[in-house]
Structure 1
Amino acid sequence: MRTNITLTIDARRKRKDGTCPIIFRLSHHRKTISISTGFAIPLEYWNEKNREVKKSFKEVSSVSRLNNLLTKKKTELRDGINELEASGRLKGLSVTNLKYTLIRPANTISFFDFAQQLIHEMEEANRFGNARAYKCALGPLKKFNKKEFLRFEEITYTYLKRFETAHLKKGNGLNGLAMYMRTYRAIYNKAIHRGIVSSDSYPFKKYKIKSEPTAKRAISKEKIRRILDLKLEVESPLFNARNYFLCSYLMNGISFIDMAFLKVENILDGRIQYRRQKTARHYDIKVTPQLSSIIDHYLKGKNKTAHIFPIIKREGIRDQYKDIQWERLRYNKRLKEIAELCEIEERLTSYVSRHSMATNLILNDVPINALSKMLGHSDISTTEIYIKDLPTHILDQYQERLEI
């Protein structure tokens, strides 16, 4: 389908003063979006056939000049589309990206505006977790920048070092900084890929993102047994939290969001089959007798399309993500109470079950390549992070095996 730009009036957006905005309607990939002209007139002064303002309109000094201005702007937009098509970039742009590219010259594009566009695209694609992470990272940068506009070319090595210093000076951690910086780098890379900014000024060639080892997250099998043996009534607020933790541990460290979206129909022939929300990677997990004893409680009286766990309460996908977000907060809070009841010194969070599963399998001599597949890692180097959690005496035992 051709990419078209049409001058029209938006009668649906009638303002309080009785005028309607004159817009360009951009059509691309069977989708449309409007581009503002900055002008608005009463609907009766618009000539839809000729797509121009009627000469009888008296609110401007020259109707002819106004129409010429609108025609010139349309020509500029059409020329921009032709240039993108000639360079081979047009086809790969969404209608939103195309609008953004046409109306904002590269040297005036705000880093924040482009990031907001990416957030909008993520939300449109139901990637609310990614969108939330981007929003979280943009807040500190906006506060540091002290103004709403930030050109890509302003984000230099020196600028990033100043942001780093300000972040750490407040007592914030290095890993939090690394998370922000990876987000800024991703935004910058996307802008380069879309031709919005040149790679010549790319600051991450010189600026290196640093992080530090995270605190040990795994707990022993004996402590997990304490959680399993904890006597809780079904009515207890801790009942579901305990079961979520154990199910995550027994389902290869499944993430909380993936567990929340599991439905009864994901259980087939004694196996749980699903695609991970984050990577779309397919998982096929055996339902062991111990796992079955927990899940069976949640399956009673449910049809195939019902969610297994009582985490998601609403229908709309955006509301479902909010349900998961709030339930995760309650879950982590209740895990702290469980840790106290079970006399577990380590801090329990939703991530501990995954790390504990990985560490305990390593301790049982499960090959790292098998563990990598169970965790769904595409790169074995990611799996190696879990080995750092191994106790020193275990590593000593492995070293002793080298003796001849």
Structure 2
Amino acid sequence: MKTTVSVVCYHHKILTNGESPIMLRICKGGKRTMKSLGISVHARYWDFAANQPKRNCPNRNYIQQVILRAVGECNALVLSKEAMQEEFTPRTLVHESKEEIRAQSVEEFYVKLIADLKAQGAVGTAYAYQNSYGVLRSFNKGRALTYTFGTIDAVFLEKFEVWMRARGNKDTTLSFQMRTLRAVFNRAIKAKAVAKEKNPFGEEYKVSKFDTRTPKRALSKEEIMKIVNADCSAESDLYRLAHDIFVFSYLCGGIAFVDVANLTPANIVDGRLSYKRQKTHGAINIPLSERAMRIIERYADYCERAGYLFPILDGRLHITPIQKRNRVHKVCHQVNLELRKLAQNLKISAEVTTYVARHSFATVLKKSGVNIGIISEALGHHSLKTTQIYLGAFENSQIDAAMQNLL
């Protein structure tokens, strides 16, 4: 009995968008089974005689790609079963399919992924993917990304790279965009929106080729002490906050601004600062110096009202992950502007930002002869994560002794 595989526009059913679903139709021995391809089309754009989209059909190329893939996979399964002389019916053929067809355009996948991540509270990742989506839209001349992930091959990536370089982007930006696109592609593979064999990131196109090393941004210990000992009593509240956050970060293991913002009284345990990094979720446990404690105590009244150690987040106002993320981003920008003023007032020519405090913490300890295993060279070059791994591998007493070199 011959098996036929075809597609039809099931015009007897109208979806909420006014379109009809496109179905895979499998016939054998007088029996028939239909399976949705996950795409739809308005009946006026469908050629019912030829069972294909008309030339004026929107997204015609994309629809044809989905149809060809679905029919091809089903026919391959039929041939395999016939070669093995296995019995099957149209219904069992559909249910035994190794990989369910979940055809999606890059546009659909990005939009849904970003929405899902925001709903899950993974705001940072959602914004990174939102940025990637926006850049791809610009590369596509502002048009929707109606092509499938299979279109993203090594040639596509090379053109994307050339386009970004023509706009003045450096290797650091190119690396970020390609790594983000690679992450989305891997998610698409996991969701079975594209076959893993189609993944161009690897031998065909290597993201590791980009030079992402950045110039060192650490201050000397002399410059750090200028900032630590600066008298800011006559300055504005925001200026004093910027100074306090920089000094606190430097004294507390180079704690990142986002982690400073999220500190609560629960993070102070037996005179130590214990928290999990927002970025890597790695556990950090370091001693709180007397000077660091004095900075915390300066904001005790605010903490009692708002629930956070520093006047960045307010537990009464900033509830959702998006609200918190936006607030942290805004205040970090304001603090960095104030730190530039501080550097000018102290006649420090180097850039001074919240991140510089983190980098300077590691560099000062390294120059003081602290074990390279505790303060990794990676903090200033390729990876911050490596340093956190090294820090977590040592006893508190070793870290405590090392931090005596900060002042």
Structure 2 gap ranges (5+): 1-12, 20-90, 391-407
Q: What's the CA shift for 1:227? A: 0.9
Report the Cα distance in structure 2 between the residues aligned to 1:174 and 1:382, rounded to whole angstroms: 26
Work out the number of aligned pairs and report it: 295
Does residue 319 in structure 1 map to residue 323 in structure 2? yes
Report the Cα distance in structure 2 between the residues aligned to 1:319 and 1:339, rounded to whole angstroms: 30
- Determine which of 179, 198, 203 is the counterpart of 1:201: 198
Report the Cα distance in structure 2 between the residues aligned to 1:282 and 1:140, rounded to whole angstroms: 34
Report the Cα distance in structure 1 between the residues aligned to 2:135 and 2:360, rounded to whole angstroms: 33
Does residue 179 in structure 1 map to residue 176 in structure 2? yes
Question: What per-residue deviation string (whole Å, max 9, x for no partner) do you get for residues 100-149 of structure 1?
Answer: x8xxx54x422232122222222122121221122122212111112202
* Cross-structure match for 1:222: 222
- Determine which of 147, 154, 167 is the counterpart of 1:150: 147
| Distance change in 2, residues 1:222/1:171 (3 Å) | same
Report the Cα distance in structure 1 between the residues aligned to 2:241 and 2:303, rounded to whole angstroms: 17
Which residue identity is paired with 1:217?
R
* Cross-structure match for 1:338: 342
TM-score, normalised with respect to structure 2: 0.65
Contact in 2 for aligned 1:227/1:242 (Cα 8 Å): yes
* 1:382-401 matches, cutoff 5 A: none
- Determine which of 360, 372, 376 is the counterpart of 1:368: 372
| Distance change in 2, residues 1:232/1:377 (3 Å) | closer
Report the Cα distance in structure 1 between the residues aligned to 2:373 and 2:105, rounded to whole angstroms: 44
* Cross-structure match for 2:118: 123
Report the Cα distance in structure 1 between the residues aligned to 2:362 and 2:289, rounded to whole angstroms: 17
Q: What's the CA shift for 1:310? A: 0.4
* 1:206-355 matches, cutoff 5 A: 206-209=204-207, 210-233=210-233, 235-300=236-301, 302-303=303-304, 306-313=307-314, 314-317=317-320, 318-355=322-359
Q: Taking every aligned residue pair, what percent have the same amino acid on both sides?
A: 31
Which residue identity is paired with 1:132?
Y
| Distance change in 2, residues 1:381/1:231 (3 Å) | closer
- Determine which of 136, 152, 157 is the counterpart of 1:160: 157
Report the Cα distance in structure 2 between the residues aligned to 1:117 and 1:193, rounded to whole angstroms: 15
* Cross-structure match for 2:54: none
| Distance change in 2, residues 1:120/1:172 (3 Å) | same
Contact in 1 for aligned 2:218/2:357 (Cα 8 Å): yes
Contact in 2 for aligned 1:272/1:285 (Cα 8 Å): yes
Report the Cα distance in structure 2 between the residues aligned to 1:223 and 1:231, rounded to whole angstroms: 14
Structure 1 gap ranges (5+): 1-21, 24-35, 41-78, 90-100, 384-404
Report the Cα distance in structure 1 between the residues aligned to 2:251 and 2:135, rounded to whole angstroms: 38
Q: What's the CA shift for 1:37? A: 4.6
Root-mean-square deviation over aligned CA pairs: 3.2
Report the Cα distance in structure 1 between the residues aligned to 2:311 and 2:241, rounded to whole angstroms: 8
Question: What per-residue deviation string (whole Å, max 9, x for no partner) do you get for residues 219-259 of structure 1?
Answer: 11111111112221263431101111111111111111111
Report the Cα distance in structure 1 between the residues aligned to 2:302 and 2:319, rounded to whole angstroms: 23
SS in 2 for 1:143: helix
